[in-house]
């Protein structure tokens, strides 16, 4: 009589089969691990409004925005490339070393000092156009953070200056946030004693308004 026990799989063979199944499962997961999104490296290029004049580094706009975006699930690192007093031309002049290789996107916030000094809006536009063109030439996406002229500069100046950002965004196909200081400008409770630079609460208001648009902009790059 033949014993059916003779047909039981050898225990060693069964163990090896289990190992092969486990290896196959791990190999199947490798493509998913490789597809995991890398950190998006972003540069906030601007003047004192970006730099965070009068504030600790951790309360400046780039740091606060990075924290807000991470809370929304974005793996992002935002470098603070703000320099107090910079005009649009100054930002263009230092662009190459302020925006390192590997940068995926730039948040471009310049022009406030041009306006405060009453510089020709045409010159501001030319400098911003040059910065945008240079960044696009390097394959870096740009989100334009707009500025508005102060009322005391007159209607003609305001019209010429305020039109800069919308015109450039349309010409270059950029994401535009029309007014960086929206909700903060003119509010003493949200500005430092100089009346021009946001305090910590003011930065929170700016970030609260900007986080959504910036998230939408960056998620298109993460795909």
Cα–Cα distance between 68 and 79 in angstroms, integer? Answer: 14
Distance from C-alpha of 116 to C-alpha of 139, rounded to nearest angstrom: 32
pLDDT for the residue numbered 18: 52
The residues of the chain scoring below 70 in pLDDT are 1-37, 222-223
Cβ 168 vs Cβ 128: under 8 Å: yes
- Report the pLDDT value the prediction gives residue 28, as an integer from 0 to 100: 53
What positions carry a catalytic annotation? 48, 194, 197
Minimal CA–CA distance to 184: which of 147, 142, 144, 136? 147
Give me the architecture of the 38-222 domain, per CATH.
Answer: 3-Layer(aba) Sandwich (3.40)
What are the φ/ψ torsions at residue 178 (nearest 5 degrees)?
Answer: -60, -40
Domain boundaries, the chain: 8-33, 38-222
Residues 69, 214: contact at Cβ < 8 Å? yes
Closest residue by Cα to residue 147 from 184, 97, 172, 106: 184
Phi first, then psi: give them for residue 58, nearest 5 degrees.
Answer: -75, -10
DSSP code of residue 104: -
Reported pTM: 0.83
pLDDT at position 16, please?
Answer: 52
């Amino acid at each position: 009589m033949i014993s059916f026990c003779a047909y039981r799989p050898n225990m060693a063979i069964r163990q090896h089969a289990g190992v092969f199944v486990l290896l196959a499962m791990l190999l199947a997961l490798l493509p998913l691990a490789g597809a995991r999104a890398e950190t998006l490296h972003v540069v906030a290029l601007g003047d004192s409004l970006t730099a965070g004049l009068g504030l600790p580094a951790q309360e400046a706009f780039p740091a606060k925005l990075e924290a807000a975006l991470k809370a929304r699930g974005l793996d992002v690192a935002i470098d603070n490339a703000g320099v107090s007093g910079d005009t649009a031309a100054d930002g263009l002049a230092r662009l190459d070393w302020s925006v390192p290789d590997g940068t995926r996107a730039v948040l471009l916030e310049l022009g406030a000092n041009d306006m405060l000094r009453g510089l020709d809006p045409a010159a501001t536009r030319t400098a911003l156009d040059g910065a945008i063109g240079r960044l696009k030439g390097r394959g870096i996406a740009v989100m334009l953070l707009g500025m508005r002229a102060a009322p005391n500069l007159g209607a003609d100046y305001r019209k010429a200056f305020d039109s800069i950002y919308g015109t450039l965004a349309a010409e270059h196909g950029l994401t535009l946030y029309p007014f960086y200081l929206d909700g903060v400008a003119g509010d003493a409770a949200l500005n430092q004693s100089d009346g021009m630079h946001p305090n910590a609460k003011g930065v929170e208001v700016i970030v609260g308004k900007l986080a959504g648009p910036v998230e939408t902009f960056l998620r298109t790059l993460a795909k």
